[in-house]
Amino acid sequence: MRTTDDRYRGERERFELAMRMIRHEARTGTIRYVTGLSDDRIRKLYTSYFKFDARAKVRRRRGKTPTQITPLIRTPARTLESGVFVNLLLANRLISIDEPPGPALRGSIELGNRFCECYETHNRVVPKPTLSFEWAWNLMSAIRRGDEIGIDRCEHCATAYLYDQLALPRNPCPACPTLQACASDLPTEAAAPTG
């Protein structure tokens, strides 16, 4: 393979990942961080392929990526949804409990594609997902930093869940009440016929 072919393939992969991230309404800074493309080039991609296409309902998010973690774990439902996404990140080796913070993300096309796959899978498996691409990126970044949010496994139901490391008292497992409510809604087994 010639050097120019290899360089072209690398450019094409960066371009395709940027297009994929734009479809998920990622901010310019997030796309730049992962792909290494310039802000101007990212804006031109959006203008050329999305801005005037009526079928592509893509909005450009302005400003910086969110950095607060409280909205991700404010309610048990949000904590469970965030937990689903975290389990996808763990399965795709984008974060590591044993060896934090995990692999380097800056400029990694492979890991950028894995993150997009996690987000797309999350949107398919979670009914009525509320986690946007940027909030998902924020969640992964917060876990990789390891200073505000942690991952724990419940002793009772074995569900992995997120908790705020700075909150006192520590929040209990959000899955246990949900599982208990589901169990109480199940009909009791019919009594065996006597005869």
Instruction: Please state the pTM of the whole predicted model.
Output: 0.79
For residue 88, the model assigns a pLDDT of 93
The residues with which 152 forms a beta bridge, in sequence order, are: 161
Cα-atom radius of gyration of the chain, to the nearest Å? 21
Which is higher by pLDDT, 4 or 179? 179
Which tokens go with 145? 């930093």
Side chain identity at residue 50, one-letter code: F
For residue 36, the model assigns a pLDDT of 92
Measure the CA–CA gap between 7 and 127, rounded to whole angstroms: 41
The answer, yes or no, to whether the previous bond of 127 is cis (omega within 30 of 0) is no
Measure the CA–CA gap between 87 and 118, rounded to whole angstroms: 9
Q: Is the pLDDT of residue 188 over 60?
A: no
For residue 54, the model assigns a pLDDT of 63
Measure the CA–CA gap between 140 and 41, rounded to whole angstroms: 26
3-12, 84-93, 103-112, 143-152: least confident range: 3-12
Helix, strand, or coil here: 129? coil
Which is higher by pLDDT, 46 or 191? 46
Which tokens go with 155? 């002793």
